[in-house]
């Protein structure tokens, strides 16, 4: 009888622990939802922004909930992904005057910068585990794509590819301790 009561208590404690972790992970919605709304408002591409925003929200919640250092990785990705997102939203204001190639180049270059910054931030602040920098890069790529999708799919893909390339280069660079 005491073993059964102890097992029930352990199960209840485990469930409470996981619910708490999920609740903390869901709090990232307070950042992602306004970013998606800003994208939709500035670009007028409601469906595209909602799709990428939902993808970003799912990845961010899953990483913050399930990965040991997921919160730090997601935060780094959101902060660094804001660079190309902002560049793209500013570019959207003048998109009619910009050639498509220039817009793709700007989003890709901003993505390279964001990916490099995300990977280096994670590599220097944690154990550098591959899950951490890939998560930060994925979040940065989705955040960048959130801003760039208003100009077109090519610019969003360019930003995401730029983030991935920047992360790979940054991880390959030697760390100075």
Number of domains in the chain: 1
- CB under 8 Å to 137, separation ≥6 — which residues? 77, 115, 118, 119, 163, 164, 166, 167
In a domain, 166, yes or no: yes
Residue 48 lies in a domain: yes
Retrieve residue 65's tokens.
Answer: 């909930």
Packed helices 46-66 and 2-26: angle between N→C axes, nearest 10 degrees: 140
Per-residue pLDDT of 112-167, as tens digits, reads 777 777 777 666 655 556 567 778 788 888 888 887 777 777 777 777 777 777 77
The string of pLDDT tens digits covering residues 66-91 is 888 888 889 888 888 888 888 777 77
Domain contains 177: no
Residue-number span of the structural domain to which 28 is assigned = 2-172
Banded pLDDT at 28 (limits 50, 70, 90): very high
The answer as to whether 57 is a domain residue is: yes
Give the C-alpha separation, 68 to 131, whole Å: 10
Give me the pLDDT at residue 177, please: 47
- Rounded Cα distance, 176 and 168, in Å: 17
What's the whole-model pTM score? 0.79
- Please report whether residue 61 resides in a domain: yes
């Amino acid at each position: 009888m005491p073993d059964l009561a102890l097992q029930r208590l352990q199960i209840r404690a485990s469930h409470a622990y996981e619910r708490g972790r999920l609740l903390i992970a869901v709090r990232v919605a307070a950042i992602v939802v306004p970013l998606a709304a800003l994208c939709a408002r500035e670009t007028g591409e409601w469906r595209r922004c909602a799709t990428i925003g939902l993808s970003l929200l799912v990845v961010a919640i899953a990483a913050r909930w399930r990965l040991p250092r997921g919160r730090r990785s997601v935060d780094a990705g959101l902060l660094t992904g804001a660079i190309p997102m902002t560049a793209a939203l500013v570019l959207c204001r003048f998109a009619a005057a910009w050639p498509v190639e220039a817009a793709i180049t700007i989003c890709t270059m901003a993505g390279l910068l964001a990916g490099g910054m995300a990977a280096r931030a994670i590599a220097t602040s944690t154990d550098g585990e591959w899950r951490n920098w890939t998560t930060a890069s994925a979040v940065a790529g989705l955040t960048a794509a959130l801003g760039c999708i208003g100009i077109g799919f090519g610019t969003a893909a360019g930003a995401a590819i730029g983030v991935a390339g920047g992360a790979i280069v940054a991880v390959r660079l030697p760390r100075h301790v």
